[in-house]
Amino acid sequence: MEAYNALHALMKGPLPSLFFCIGDPVVGNPTQHMVEYAFRTMGFPGRYLTSRVTKEELAPALWGLRALAFAGGNVTAPHKQTVLQYLDELSESALLCKAVNTIVRRSDGTYYGDNTDGKGFLQSLKDRNLPVKDKKIVILGSGGAASAIATELVLAKAKEVVLVNRTEDRSRSIAKRLAGIRATILTVDRWEGSYSIPSDADIVVQATSVGLFSPAACVDVTFPKRNKPLIACDVVFNPVQTLFLQRSEEAGCTTVDGLGMLVNQGILGIEQWTGNTPDSEGMRDALEEAFGV
């Protein structure tokens, strides 16, 4: 039936909508498997292509996608910040965190950039009934994921967000950009040697790429004794059970893996592309199938 539908579109139209994922590297990126599953189960005539695009080829690649009238797509590292200059309009989240991971082609042919990473992260906590309002949250890292998550935490009225990175200037840049938007306190910690998670933190977010495709890799942190529960989250999605999450569990933390964030940010993008909400459980199952979980 799928082959018949594709032939019907080819012979009589309309052509399926085209979507993309660009980054470098993109080998091992599971988004295509998840999105195409969603398209199939929704009955949406879409095709999703994953393409390696180097920094040098980003500008011509994006003009090519415009010329081919791609309906939207995803942007991953290292292009989430540099892609902004090629877009016509940005969402509030994208403007605040200075990064885009989702692009939508509007009816007038303009391209709109959004960042669904932080929103997807917050939804993964909501799915577990874990609130962030009035909480102290420590974010390890200061890259695109950290910036997006910090942005949404501020908008969600977290009590305090602590940005931790070995390059302190990058953390300060994020803190300065988000200062004054809400009453959230923004502080910066220098990461020297092994970082000790503050005893009064409610949530810690491992927002670096350490551990991605590397089950034996883990950020250098310690979990001192504490008087209240700690929720430990990892943005890394492969492996699902990272060494950071394993060590967090051993320290008595409640853990949240990176698959929830990946699924939820994907759902938000698909909703913008199609106007419909896909099956979240099925999308997670598709990812777990791709990872052999």
Assigned token pair, 268 = 């938000």
* Furthest-apart CA atoms within the chain: distance in Å: 67
Residue 114 CA to residue 95 CA, distance in Å, equals 8
The DSSP element (H or E) to which 172 belongs, if any, is helix 168-178
Residue 219 CA to residue 17 CA, distance in Å, equals 40
Is the separation of the CB atoms in 45 and 9 below 8 Å? yes
Instruction: Centre a 10 Å sphere on the Cβ of residue 276 and count the other Cβ atoms it contains.
Output: 11
10 Å CB burial of residue 162 (0-12, 13-18, 19+) is: buried
Residue 168 CA to residue 278 CA, distance in Å, equals 40
Residue 143 CA to residue 269 CA, distance in Å, equals 21
Query: Angle, nearest 10°, between helix axes 258-274 and 280-291?
Result: 130
Residue spans of alpha helices (H) in 13-142: 31-42, 58-67, 92-97, 117-126
Task: Tell me the sheet residues that pair with 113.
Answer: 90, 103
> At which residue do the structure tokens 């409610």 appear?
202
Is 80 part of the annotated catalytic residue set? yes
Assigned token pair, 152 = 């949404």
Among residues 12, 80, 119, 126, the one annotated as catalytic is: 80
Q: Which residues are catalytic?
A: 80
